[in-house]
Amino acid sequence: MIKERLASLRELMKDNKIDAYLVPSTDAHQSEYLPALWQRRQWISGFDGSAGDVVVTMNKAGLWTDSRYFLQAEKQLSGTTIDLYKIGVQGAPTIKDFLRNELKGGQYLGIDPRLVSHSEISSLIASLAAKKIGLKFIENNLIDEIWKDRPEMPLEKIMVWPIKYAGEPVESKLNRIREKMNAEDATAHVLTMLDAIAWTFNIRSKDVDFNPVVIAYAIITKSSAKLFVHPAKVNDELKGYLKGVAEIYDYNLFRDHLVNLAKGKEKVWLDGGTVNQWVVNLLEKDCELFYRDSPVTLFKARKNETELAGFKACHERDGIAMVKFLHWLGKAVPAGGVTEITAADRLEKFRAEDKLFQGLSFETISGYKEHGAIVHYSSTPETDVELKPEGIYLIDSGGQYLDGTTDITRTVALGKPTDEQKNRFTRVLKGHIDLSLTSFPGGTTGIQLDTIARKSLWDVGLNYGHGTGHGVGAYLGVHEGPHAISYYRGIGVPLESGMIVSNEPGYYKAGEYGIRIENLVNVVRDDEKSNNDFEFFKFDCPTLCPIDLNLVELSLLDKDEKEYLNGYHARVRKVLSPNLNEEQRLWLDNATCAL
């Protein structure tokens, strides 16, 4: 089937006089998660991981993906004639290398300009120019032309995110954006990122799994704000809500309005890292363009008081679901029949008891024993195993609630843990606590804090291969920039008041077990430590759920760490107990007893 699809694509490539065609993983909004109709790379290759780009030439085809997906890609590409290229493996050719090797001077790479950001295109052009390989933008996506039964555009109605959760009216948000535009003399700002648009217009929908975004474009000028969405998604409530503040247009009219911007020779602010090249192509001849991070990115990251209150509230209810789940797990596993998948499903049901629950915020990672050591493990019917009263179980999950987004990881001993497991768990816990306890001066960036969570593992020659924390949206994406606590992401972005970030150090012993402890925290001013010379900040932690004391090696914790753990558990008990039944409450009392 894949072979036939490739053959049809190559026919179209001939018609279009191109020698290679790029099928990126993403859509016109540079999304990580896409609605089904835009999952073109999955369709052409059969590989359905969340990241991976395909390039097809007349006699070769390749998929580029990262280490999370090497095994899965190998399996899914088998028999397709598509070769796997491993990103990050030394000596493995990149897409640019491949194109430079496979194409000759004078040949052309075809690209749908909607699917590549302006910065990517600039770097690609520079790379191919050296070998005089040309680049041809083809507006009609070639996959769409041959994909007969392609799904429809999702047409779920758009919901107005109530002001009691959003905390700031659209008008106020637009004014803040316009202030930034004025400071740059920009007359227009084009938004293409779905979460930025959802934030700006206080809208949510169910167009994409796990991410309550709306498929949309937006153009903001000094005097107007235009939202482009499919007309079928618009109801009277939305029309009323945006009346006098923003105009609603058909998603397909976005192109015409870009052309109008060009005619008006506007000075347009674009976010070069995310805006697609199709937008740039339509504007660049006539407009004065400049590229800088959208002001929305930082506005959205700094949650207001209302968002923070919702963040806190949804974490209390999420904590109740987690406690019910852990209590249930302790009884259900010895009784038998619980698997990675059924456990994850049971947790989702506990979450769904809350009436503000809207769905999961990402696919639950439910990993038993050696599966826990696979950082982005996703249990499938083929890999699913039964949980037994032995070994370690890791569950990383989160919910979307009307008042906020949650993300939590707990690692649980289902039997008696080994000394090594307790040692490793406690070292991860020390890192998690030390980071929680850190106060830092204004201007500090995440990479400066990342080390604090690793130090206790480094002390014994261990480490973990992922960042310590990612930003989180307010009833939006569970991964959100620009900040992070990481050695490779969010470099140069200071952590500011109101930012939400995860605190999730881990340890992974391949083939044996995985450990991760994750709470979400938000940055607040540290009034006690701030002084005339330095303003200090610290973390508040709304995540409420016991940390498995059976895995704690007490002698490894210092006084401050022990005090933190006991204080945290006392708070968990106090806040959650009133909402539990007698049996759950007794379980929680025991799970949170002071050490």
CA 500, chain centre distance (Å): 13
CA nearest to 500, candidates 486, 484, 521: 521
Cβ distance to its own copies smaller for residue 67 or 463 = 463
Question: Shortest Cβ distance from residue 534 to its own copies (Å)?
Answer: 5
Question: Shortest Cβ distance from residue 69 to its own copies (Å)?
Answer: 21
Question: Shortest Cβ distance from residue 499 to its own copies (Å)?
Answer: 18
- Residues at the site binding its own copies, with contacts judged by CB under 8 A: 438-441, 444-445, 447-452, 455, 458-463, 487, 491, 526, 528-531, 533-534, 536, 558
Cβ distance to its own copies smaller for residue 438 or 579 = 438
Cβ distance to its own copies smaller for residue 234 or 462 = 462
Cβ distance to its own copies smaller for residue 414 or 433 = 433
SS (H, E, C) 334-397: HHCCCEHHHHHHHHHHHHHCCCCEEEECCCCEEEEHHHHHCCCCCCCCCCCCECCCCCEEEEEE
Question: Shortest Cβ distance from residue 192 to its own copies (Å)?
Answer: 26
Question: Shortest Cβ distance from residue 431 to its own copies (Å)?
Answer: 13
Q: b/e map of 220-249 (b: 16 or more CB within 10 Å)?
A: bbeeebbbbbbeebbeeebeebbeebbebb
Question: Shortest Cβ distance from residue 47 to its own copies (Å)?
Answer: 28
Angle between helices 305-335 and 340-352 (to 10 degrees): 140
End-to-end C-alpha distance for the chain, whole angstroms: 60
Per-residue CA distances from 16 to 104, 108, 138, 231 (Å): 17, 10, 8, 33
Question: Shortest Cβ distance from residue 440 to its own copies (Å)?
Answer: 6
CA nearest to 232, candidates 151, 156, 150: 156
Cβ distance to its own copies smaller for residue 382 or 528 = 528
CA dihedral 207, 208, 212, 213 (to 10 degrees): -70
Question: Shortest Cβ distance from residue 510 to its own copies (Å)?
Answer: 8
Question: Shortest Cβ distance from residue 442 to its own copies (Å)?
Answer: 10
Cβ distance to its own copies smaller for residue 420 or 458 = 458
Query: Contact 354/401 with Cβ under 8 angstroms?
Result: yes
CA nearest to 46, candidates 18, 7, 97, 81: 81
Question: Shortest Cβ distance from residue 441 to its own copies (Å)?
Answer: 5
CA nearest to 586, candidates 327, 346, 389: 327
Question: Shortest Cβ distance from residue 255 to its own copies (Å)?
Answer: 29
Per-residue CA distances from 264 to 188, 219, 228 (Å): 10, 14, 19
Cβ distance to its own copies smaller for residue 302 or 455 = 455
Cβ distance to its own copies smaller for residue 287 or 296 = 287
SS (H, E, C) 212-226: CCCCCEEEEECCCEE
Cβ distance to its own copies smaller for residue 335 or 460 = 460
Cβ distance to its own copies smaller for residue 455 or 585 = 455
CA 127, chain centre distance (Å): 29
Question: Shortest Cβ distance from residue 290 to its own copies (Å)?
Answer: 10
Cβ distance to its own copies smaller for residue 137 or 291 = 291
Cβ distance to its own copies smaller for residue 418 or 451 = 451
**Under 8 Å CB-to-CB from 190, ≥6 apart: which residues?**
217, 218, 219, 220, 258, 261, 268, 269, 270, 275, 279, 283
**Under 8 Å CB-to-CB from 56, ≥6 apart: which residues?**
6, 9, 10, 13, 20, 21, 23, 44
**Under 8 Å CB-to-CB from 170, ≥6 apart: which residues?**
200, 201, 202, 225, 241, 242, 245, 246
Query: Contact 110/126 with Cβ under 8 angstroms?
Result: no
Question: Shortest Cβ distance from residue 481 to its own copies (Å)?
Answer: 18
Cβ distance to its own copies smaller for residue 16 or 530 = 530
Angle ∠(527,529,531) on CA atoms, nearest 5: 85
Question: Shortest Cβ distance from residue 445 to its own copies (Å)?
Answer: 7
Query: Contact 95/60 with Cβ under 8 angstroms?
Result: no
CA nearest to 393, candidates 307, 516, 210: 516
Cβ distance to its own copies smaller for residue 149 or 533 = 533
User: What is the Cα Rg of the chain in Å?
Assistant: 25
Pull the structure tokens for residue 437. Answer: 């306890």
Instruction: Strands of 512-554 (E only): list them.
Output: 513-516, 519-525, 536-540
CA dihedral 576, 577, 581, 584 (to 10 degrees): 80
